[in-house]
Amino acid sequence: MPSEIRGTERSLFIYIFLFLWLGLFSLFEAGIIKDIRQPAFLSLAVTLAMLLTHLLLEKWGVEGDLLLFPLTSMLNVAGLLMILRLSPEFAERQFIWLFVGLAAFLLTVKGLNNYKSLEDYKYIYIFAGLFLLLATILFGVEAGGARSWIELGIVRFQPSELVKIILVIFLAGYLEEKKEILAEGTRNILGIPVPSLQYTGPLLVMWGLSLVLLVFQKDLGTALIYFGTFLAMIYISTGRWPYIFTGALLFSLGGLLGYLLFAHVRVRVAIWLNPWIDIDGKGYQIVQSLFAIGSGGIYGTGLGLGQPSLIPAAHTDFVFSAWCEETGLLGAAALILIYCLVIHRGFRIALTAKTGFGTLLAAGLTSLLAIQTLVIVGGVIKLLPLTGITLPFVSYGGSSLVSSYILLGLLTKISAEDGA
Amino acid sequence: MRVVLLVLKFGLLAILYFFILRVFYFILTDLRRVSARGGPRPAGQQAVCGAELVVTESNDPSVRPGEIIKLGAETRLGRGRHNHIKLTDAFVSHDHMQIIFKQGKFFLEDLHSINGTYINGVRVKEPVPLSHGDAIRIAGVTFKFVRWEYEVE
């Protein structure tokens, strides 16, 4: 290779491939995989696809962040191994989604000429996003208690995953345009600057609409992520604490209302407070998750040697518990460390971005990833009430994986254009 | 058989941690590189270096006489949107000039602009260290270079 702009990235990929193949070997030795040929073929395809992605980035001279792609690839490989171990019938599809995700990543990095141009069409995006959400409510199908899927022939996808990113792009553009007014306000109430309704209006409408839509979809986890990201971005752009207080208050009110109105919210909270009352019924999932995490110990049982298939939905929402059981505290800590490093890189990109829009976009996307990880990891370890969302890059789920890769592409693009 | 699995179990954990250590190493070298340059902050956000440009004359609507621009580790001036100081005059090049803080001094470098940068009436050809009170002229705008330690006296 004559030019070596992404040499760091390649040196890290050695570890990832080693992990993938040794993990596969471990699953085979443990007797989980009976027929090695198909998984080996798929792993070979993944190895080649990741290498190809890296070489294409090198060839196009993308000088973006060198650590993000290896970090997320490691997460992805860990997830693939867990899915292969838990439900081989889903693994094949997840491998295919990974190729789609990598293609989406490359398309975002290469196809987007200038990320700043995203700012110009923000209202078009947000209407497209709202339209997608509305379509889900009208034509969506229900799965796992949440009506958030659209069926297109053989493929099912979850529009709310994509809408998350659209929302961040819109908020970055809108807040960048209006941040002085939002920070200074036009009137003062008790020393707190209050912008007049014409400026806060669109924001309130956006927030209310997304929450109402999500209430109709009964998808509480996603609502929490939307709102958390919204608060994080408004704080980053204005630096005003009152927004956070008001927002937290509004959200608590919404949560209380949800608790009083919806039976399934009450059930979730009751299970969170004490799952042991109803071990065999409603508390079964979380109790099994806690057992799995506990039986892992410090070093874990070893890949393929635990019994994580006892947890319902282990390959999607509870993939973290399964990972904890088989790799133990050390493996779980490693996974969380990798997430922390991803978030560190994301905020570093936000700091070096040259425009306010770039800073807000990078910080917003990173907050989105951070909040999503926190909510689901907190959920399965019973730190927070459980909500059914995916662990980014690790869980089974096509739309989640593809939109995570688009997010990665946007972050890489911002760092490539603005440098460090 | 069990031995193989035991080795694999700890081997996999070891790979994960070696990977993380390697990433930490890269992040540390990256942070050292950034801090050696005096931070990536643009001018105006944090004046670490203690100097500023005062606009003394201007026929450009984007800067008014009397305006003060703090200098950071790196301050670029030009017509392009990405510059720290943006001028609109057609005589100003897209990337006109930059002022860089190096070894305790501010150096002005002309970025091959068409109409040139003048310090006290002399056209800049190579990077020039600035001293207190220098008059910098770009098209119809004149700045005075002010170092803080002189100003407080």
A192 in Cβ contact with A331 (< 8 Å): no
| Local confidence band at A209 (pLDDT 50, 70, 90 cut-offs) | low
Judged against a pLDDT cut of 50, whether residue A6 lies above it is answered with yes
Cα dihedral value A86, A90, A91, A93, nearest 10: -170
CA distance B107 to B99: 5
Claim to verify: residue A129 and residue A247 sit in the same structural domain: yes
Strand order in the sheet with A141-143: A141-143, A146-152, A155-157
Mean pLDDT of chain A: 85
| Local confidence band at A196 (pLDDT 50, 70, 90 cut-offs) | low
- Percent of chain A residues past pLDDT 70, beyond the cut: 88
Claim to verify: residue A125 and residue A221 sit in the same structural domain: yes
Q: Which amino acid, residue A77?
A: V
Judged against a pLDDT cut of 60, whether residue B44 lies above it is answered with no
Q: How many domains does chain A have?
A: 2
B78 in Cβ contact with B86 (< 8 Å): yes
Q: Count chain A–chain B contacts defined by CB atoms under 8 A.
A: 83
- Beta carbons of A22 and B12 less than 8 Å apart: yes
Among the three residues A223, A239, A264, which one is the final residue of a domain in this structure?
A: A264
- Percent of chain A residues past pLDDT 90, beyond the cut: 36
Claim to verify: residue A406 and residue A368 sit in the same structural domain: yes
Among the three residues A264, A286, A304, which one is the final residue of a domain in this structure?
A: A264
Give the closest-approach CA distance of A150 to chain B in angstroms. 37
Claim to verify: residue A175 and residue A259 sit in the same structural domain: yes
What is chain A's alpha carbon radius of gyration, rounded to the nearest angstrom? 22
Judged against a pLDDT cut of 50, whether residue B46 lies above it is answered with no
Chain B residues 5-24 with CB within 8 Å of chain A: 5-6, 8-13, 15-20, 22-24
Claim to verify: residue A288 and residue A386 sit in the same structural domain: yes
Choose, out of A6, A15, A17, the residue to mutate when testing the contact with B (most B CBs < 10 Å).
A15
pTM check: above 0.80: no
Claim to verify: residue A199 and residue A272 sit in the same structural domain: no
Claim to verify: residue A141 and residue A227 sit in the same structural domain: yes
Which two tokens mark B133? 């009170």
Choose, out of B1, B4, B7, B9, the residue to mutate when testing the contact with A (most A CBs < 10 Å).
B9
Which residues, in sequence order, are bridge partners of residue A192? A189
Helix (H) or strand (E) holding A69, with range, is helix A68-86
Q: Which residues contact A137 (CB under 8 A, 6 or more apart)?
A: A147, A213, A216, A217
Helix (H) or strand (E) holding B80, with range, is none
Mean pLDDT of B62-75: 80
Which two tokens mark A46? 């993944």
Domain carrying residue A83: 2-114+266-418
State whether the Cα torsion B95-B97-B99-B105 is positive or negative: positive
Claim to verify: residue A340 and residue A241 sit in the same structural domain: no
Phi/psi of residue A353, nearest 5 degrees: -60, 140
Instruction: Pick left, alpha or beta for residue A96 (phi over 0 → left; psi -120 to 50 → alpha; otherwise beta).
Output: alpha
Which two tokens mark A120? 């110009």
Claim to verify: residue A395 and residue A366 sit in the same structural domain: yes
Long-range Cβ contact pairs of A189-192 (< 8 A, separation 24 or more):
A192/A242
Claim to verify: residue A84 and residue A187 sit in the same structural domain: no
Claim to verify: residue A96 and residue A129 sit in the same structural domain: no
CA dist list (Å): A243 to A186, A204, A248, A290: 15, 12, 8, 36
Claim to verify: residue A92 and residue A126 sit in the same structural domain: no
Among the three residues A208, A241, A264, which one is the final residue of a domain in this structure?
A: A264
| Local confidence band at A80 (pLDDT 50, 70, 90 cut-offs) | very high
Q: How far is CA A67 from the centre of its chain?
A: 18
A80 in Cβ contact with A30 (< 8 Å): no
Q: % helix / strand / coil in chain B, to the nearest 5? A: 25, 30, 45
Helix boundaries (H) for A153-283: 159-184, 197-217, 220-238, 241-261, 263-273
Question: What is the per-residue burial (b if ≥16 Cβ within 10 Å, else e) of A358-395?
Answer: bbbbbbbbbbbbbbbbbbbbebbbbebbbbbbbbbbbb
